[in-house]
Amino acid sequence: MKIGVIGSGNAGQTLGSALVKQGHEVKLGTRSIPKLDEWLQQINDDRASAGSFQDAAKHGDIIINATAGAGALEALHAAGSANLQGKILIDVSLPLDFSEGALRLFVVNTDSLGEQIQRAFPDVKVVKTLNTVASALMVNPRSLADGQHDLFISGNDAAARNEVIGYLKEWFGWESIIDLGDITSARSTEMLFALLVRVHMSLGHSNFNFKVVR
């Protein structure tokens, strides 16, 4: 499958590498293509490539938004709505603002970054997921407790949610994905980040995830 990844930081590179290893043709979209030379050399696979945000959006049958949240809308506008139209956009970004020292979410409570993206690109099928775990766990859930922990998914299009649930299982081995319904539920998983930070501080590492015991 052709996959375009918008954003070339830690999450984008980790997702990109895992997807190439699964046999997919992955183009990472970035503001600075030379920044990805090292990634391309490390991965050393013709199915990996780098380009602009627009190149990545054109390339992908499916798009992943792995930008830092503060730059998400700008990057997606640069990618171009015509290049995103009708496609599934897997949104893993978080609305984090560290500008005042302590962490705050720049959108919260009555709105979410997932919803902002869906409103800005109404013809795109935004599916929020993978935003509640560290990058290493996103692509390798079985490395922790044999995968016995949960992921959440939000999005207005039920068929798109189900399609992405299938990809998460096939690509990375996620076993338990809790469908939270429409994109307004992205508020709840974005707001979980506040607890992730505090649990991280308490445990001293990020190799953990939540399980809904029921």
Q: Give min distance, CB of 101 to a second copy, in A.
A: 11
SS3 84: helix
Q: Give min distance, CB of 100 to a second copy, in A.
A: 9
**Does 145 contact a second copy by CB under 8 A?**
yes
Contact range with a second copy by CB under 8 A, out of 16-24, 33-41, 117-125, 140-148: 140-148
Contact range with a second copy by CB under 8 A, out of 40-48, 66-74, 107-115, 160-168: 107-115
Q: How far is CA 86 from CA 10, 118, 124, 179, in A?
A: 27, 12, 5, 21
Contact pick of 43, 96, 136, 178 for a second copy (by CB under 8 A) = 178
**Residues present in the chain in total:** 214
**Does 135 contact a second copy by CB under 8 A?**
no
**Does 207 contact a second copy by CB under 8 A?**
yes
Rounded to the nearest 10 degrees, the angle between the axes of helix 186-203 and helix 113-120 is 140
**Does 86 contact a second copy by CB under 8 A?**
no
Nearer to a second copy among residue 58 and residue 128 (C-beta): 128
**Does 119 contact a second copy by CB under 8 A?**
no
First to last CA, the chain: 36
**Does 99 contact a second copy by CB under 8 A?**
no
Contact pick of 152, 171, 172, 174 for a second copy (by CB under 8 A) = 152
Contact range with a second copy by CB under 8 A, out of 54-62, 98-106, 113-121, 166-174: 98-106
**Does 101 contact a second copy by CB under 8 A?**
no
Q: Give CA–CA dist 127/140, Å, rounded.
A: 20
SS3 28: strand
H-helix or E-strand spanning residue 153: strand 150-155
Nearer to a second copy among residue 33 and residue 178 (C-beta): 178
Q: Give CA–CA dist 53/80, Å, rounded.
A: 8
Closest among 34, 24, 29 to 13, alpha carbons compared: 29
- Contact indicator for 31, 54 with CB cutoff of 8 Å: no
Q: Give CA–CA dist 138/11, Å, rounded.
A: 9
Q: Give min distance, CB of 186 to a second copy, in A.
A: 10
Q: Which residues bind a second copy (CB under 8 A)?
A: 102, 104-105, 108-110, 144-145, 148-149, 152, 178-181, 185, 187-189, 191-192, 194-195, 197-199, 201-203, 205, 207-214
